Amino acid sequence: MSAVTQFPQDFCWGAATSSFQIEGALDADGRKPSIWDHFCRQPGKVFRSHGGEPACDHYHRFREDVQVMKALGLKAYRFSIAWPRVIPDGVGSINAKGLEFYSQLVDELLANGITPFVTLYHWDLPWSLHLRGGWLNPEIPNWFADYAAAVVDKLGDRVEHWFTLNEPQVFIGLAYGAGWHAPGHKMSLAENLLAGHHALLAHGRAVQVIRARAKRKPKVGWAPVAISYFPESETPEDIEAARLATFSVSGPGAHSPEEVHRVTWNSAWWMEPVYRGEYPKEAWSRLEAFVPRVADGDMKLISQPLDFFGGNHYHGDQVKADGKGGWAATHTPTGNPVTTMKWDTTPRSIYWAAKFFHDRYKLPVYFTENGTATTDFVSPDGQIHDGGRTEYIRCYLRELRRACADGVSVAGYFYWSLMDNFEWAEGYSQRFGIVHVDYATQKRTIKDSGKFYREVIATRGSNL
């Protein structure tokens, strides 16, 4: 390994959020409900029946929030557009006031030296489209393309960096299969794979729209969950076992193919079509009774060329060679740090995710989300001394710096999230932010972890 102690000079340092989690203003200026508005009203679906209003009231406080970003030294900000704010009925009339909010946000970011990274879809599907079948409707790629066109026409003269979809493993697998997220369905594997195919087609259509309509030369990608495995030891056998597991559809411990969550919760099923133009052959043959019909031209549309690899990564599972050309799951050490989301802290996983995905897909890598939820307290001095989060950032970024030193083209890192926010089914019970939000007063306070991240950015990681 190289002795490099800093990230590259042009490394992109950012933080990320999503529209429904921070904006609030659910009835403002023509916005109509999304599937999450309705999901939050269903008893028992969201922690203590929390909802998206007012969240962080970012819709009214975005200028204040951009100043917080500037104080953190951020170079980039990844945010999502709310489809029901831009086209309230999902199709048809464009809401000029909704689009203007994002235009003003982009202007504010650029005026403060912060590069906007725009995500078109982070789960808030318009309710009216859900009533027409949502991701199961074969027309949704065209609906999504029309929505993308409206956004690109408004912002494409200033925005260069675009993401189409965020985490299809979640908004398809956990929403249409496990029922944990909106709209809360528990559908068959065949229905899930069909909805997923439509999502991939929508991604491809959006890439075409962005490239055709953006006035500034765009850089385009997407942000699936970068699900990966890492080796128990760094022997060639264990490394190859982890690589095989990362690009398998049925990871260690998988059960029958009917189990929707297992089949959809992986990288290969989603990434191979996008980057290589085909579904994983082994999985396709094994799941023959459940796979969607692929029409002529579908795979060419799905595999539109991308400019970078984007992936959200929080933790990974450890594996070792099984002595038979495969892999076996191994356990993290007893007492390994666990977040308040009950996710293992596995910093080595981000090194191997960077390496495996870069080696396979030959594109610069952005980690579009990485972060941790901890129990945060406001201390008597008015500050938030979140040492656990600081150490999480330190240990993950040390491993990411190691990947850069070992020749992996890592282009950027976005901490999740900029500020505490509505954490989906967990409501406001989980705090991921490097900025504390007092939901009663909407006061923002930069946590110790945010101050540490600011130093990381200023020193390009030499303080790690």
Would you name the residues annotated as active-site residues?
Answer: 167, 369
Helix H or strand E segment including 411: strand 410-416
Distance CA 341, CA 180 (A): 14
Position 109: which residue type? L
Position 360: which residue type? R
SS3 content of the chain, % helix, strand, coil (to 5): 40, 15, 45
CB 21 within 8 A of CB 432: no
Q: Where are the beta strands (DSSP E) in 226-344?
A: 229-231, 309-312, 317-321, 327-329
CB 81 within 8 A of CB 119: yes
Distance of CA 232 to the CA centre of its chain: 26
Distance CA 266, CA 268 (A): 6
Measured over the CA atoms of residue 198, residue 122, residue 355 and residue 250, the dihedral's sign is negative
Distance CA 446, CA 72 (A): 8
Contacts of 179 (CB under 8 A, 6+ apart): 185, 186
Distance CA 65, CA 270 (A): 34
Rg (CA), the chain: 21
